[in-house]
Amino acid sequence: MKCSEFLHELTNYLDGVLDDTTKVELENHLSWCHNCYVVCDTTKKTIEIYRDSQLYELPENLRTRLRSAIMAKCQQYKKRGPESV
Amino acid sequence: MGTIQNKLEGPVTDELTLVQAAKKGDDSAFEELVRRYDRNVFRIAQHITQNREDAEDVVQEAFLKAYSNLAKFQEQSKFYTWLVRIAVNEALMKLRRKKPERTVSLDEDIKTEDDSLPREIADWSPNPEQQYTQAELREILSKTIQGLPPGFRTVFVLRDVEGLSTEETAAALELSVPAVKSRLLRARLQLRERLGRFFQKRGSGNGDGKSGDGEQ
According to the model, what pLDDT value does residue B179 have? 94
Name the residue of chain A whose CA is nearest to B186's CA.
A11
Is A49 within 8 Å of A56 (Cβ atoms)?
Answer: no
Q: Which residues contact B110 (CB under 8 A, 6 or more apart)?
A: B179, B182
Helix, strand, or coil here: B200? strand
**Which comes out higher in pLDDT, residue B128 or B106?**
B128
Q: Give ∠ CA A53-A56-A59 in degrees, rounded to 5.
A: 115
> In degrees rounded to 5, what are phi and psi of residue B137?
-65, -45
Q: Across-strand partners of B200?
A: B124
Domain B15-98: assigned CATH number: 1.10.1740.10
For B29-43, what is the mean pLDDT? 96
Bigger pLDDT: B112 vs B80: B80
Q: Which residues of A touch B148 (CB under 8 A)?
A: none
Higher pLDDT, B205 or A10: A10
pLDDT band at B9 (very low <50, low <70, confident <90, very high): very low
Q: Where are the domains of chain B?
A: 15-98, 113-199
Of A7, A30, A67, the CB nearest to B1: A30
Domain B113-199, what architecture?
A: Orthogonal Bundle (1.10)
A66, pLDDT greater than 80: yes
Q: Which of residues 46-65 of A touch B (CB under 8 A)?
A: 46-51, 53, 55-58, 62-63
- Domain ranges for chain A, please list them: 1-53, 57-85
The fraction of chain B above a pLDDT of 70, given in percent, is 78
Those of residues 10-49 in A touching chain B at CB distance below 8 A are 10-16, 27, 30, 32-49
- Coil, strand or helix at B124: strand
Pairwise pLDDT comparison (B168 vs B203), residue with the higher score: B168
- Read off the pLDDT band of B105 (50, 70, 90): low
Chain A residue with minimum CA distance to B120: A39
Task: Check residue B72 and give its pLDDT.
Answer: 93
- Half-sphere exposure in the Cβ direction for B2 (13 Å, CA): 6
Indicate whether B69 pLDDT > 50: yes
The whole model's pTM is what?
Answer: 0.84
Complex-level ipTM beyond the 0.95 threshold: no
- If pLDDT is split at 50, 70 and 90, which confidence band does B75 have? confident
